[in-house]
A and B are shown apart, each in its own frame.
Chain A
Amino acid sequence: MGNPMKIRAAVKDGATEVKILMQHNMETGLRKGDDGKVIPAWYITDVKIQHQERVVLTAQLGVSISKNPYLVFEFKGGAAGDKVAVSWVDNTGDTRSDEVVISA
C-alpha cells in the first residue's frame, strides 16, 4: 500500500474544489544513483477520483509529473459532508486509496 495522500475538498460557488497531494517519488527511470546504476522507473500511472459513486476525474500520469504529484480540479455540485475518494495505481502495481469529506 502506497503512502497516504493529503486531500482537501471544499464547496466553492456551486462546485467542489479538490486539492490532492500524493506521496510518490515519480522516478523517471533516467536517473543514476550514487552507485552509478540507473534508478528504475517508478511512478503513478493512473488516478481515479470519485464523488460518492460517480467518477469525477480520471488521470493518466507519466514520468514528467513532479515528485509528489499535486492536482487541483473542480466538479459541479457536491455538498459539505459528501465523500470524495481518490485512488492511484503505480507501475509496480502498488495502490493507494484515501477519502475525505467535503467541507463547507
Chain B
Amino acid sequence: MNSEMNIARRNVLKVGGGMGLLALFGSLGLINPALAETERKAFSAKSMDEALSLMGVIIPEKSDAIKLSVPEIAENGAVVPVSVETTLAKIEQISFFVDKNPNVLAANFIIPEGTMGKITTRVKMGKTANVIVLVKADGKFYSASREVKVTAGGCGG
C-alpha cells in the first residue's frame, strides 16, 4: 500500500466521464491512511463527487476487469440485487453507490487477502439511477457503472 505516493503513477487521464468529477483534486493524489474512518464519513455524502472526495478518490479508472450485474429494470426499488465480480489483482476494497439516492454510498467491503473480489448484495433505489461500483486494487481505484430503471410505484405495472 501507499504506492499512491508516487504521483507519476496516477491514472488520472483515463477520464471515462459518467462520474461528473472535476479535476479539482488533482493535486491531492493521496489516500487517507485512516481508511476506515474516512470511508465512514462518506456515508453522509449526498452526491458522487462528495462521496469520492471524502474517500480520497480522484478519478477512478473505468475497468473492463470489473463485471457489475444489476437488473435493467427494477420493479421494486426497495430490493435491487447488485453483484460484482472482478479479476483485478490485490483487491483491497469494494464499494457500491446509487448515484441518485439521498445517501449515495450504500456499502464498503474491506477485502483481506484470500477473499475473492466477488460480492452480491441488495440495495434500495429511490428512482432510476446508476449503480456504481468502486474497486480499490493495488492502491488504485477503478469503477464500473450501470443504469437501473426503477418503475414507479405499486404493483410493478
Q: Given contacts A62-B103, A64-B105, is CB(A57)–CB(B112) below 8 Å?
A: yes
Instruction: Flag B99-135 by CB within 8 Å of A: 1 or 0 each.
Output: 0011111111111101110111111100000000000
The minimal Cβ–Cβ distance linking A26 to chain B, given in whole angstroms, is 8
Of the four ranges (under 10, 10 to 19, 20 to 34, 35 or more), the interface on chain B belongs to 20 to 34
Query: Is B79 part of the contact surface with A, judged by Cβ < 8 Å?
Result: yes
Chain B residues numbered 68-118 whose CB sits less than 8 Å from any CB in chain A: 78-81, 83, 98, 101-112, 114-116, 118
For B95, the closest partner residue in chain A by CB is: A60
Of A56, A61, A62, A72, the most chain B CB neighbours within 10 A belong to A62
For B97, the closest partner residue in chain A by CB is: A64
| A73 interface neighbour in B78, B104, B116, Cβ under 8 Å | B116
The stretch that binds B, out of A3-11, A32-40, A74-82, A96-104, is A74-82
CB neighbours (8 Å) of B114 from chain A are 54, 56, 75-77
Instruction: Flag A35-77 by CB within 8 Å of B: 1 or 0 each.
Output: 0000000000000000000111111111111110111111111
A83 to B44, CA, bound (A): 35
A67 touches B107 (CB 8 A): no
A71 to B107, CA, bound (A): 11
For A60, the closest partner residue in chain B by CB is: B108
Number of interface residues of A (CB under 8 A): 27
B103 touches A59 (CB 8 A): no
A65 touches B110 (CB 8 A): no
A72 touches B43 (CB 8 A): no
Q: Given contacts A73-B115, A73-B116, A76-B116, is CB(A60)–CB(B43) below 8 Å?
A: yes
B39 touches A65 (CB 8 A): no
State the A residues within 8 Å of B (CB).
15, 26, 28, 30, 54-67, 69-77
Nearest 9 CB-CB pairings of A with B = A64-B106, A72-B120, A66-B122, A58-B110, A75-B115, A60-B108, A74-B116, A62-B43, A66-B79
Known pairs A66-B122, A74-B115. 11 more at Cβ < 8 A? Answer: A28-B124, A30-B102, A56-B115, A60-B108, A61-B106, A62-B43, A64-B124, A67-B79, A72-B83, A73-B119, A76-B115
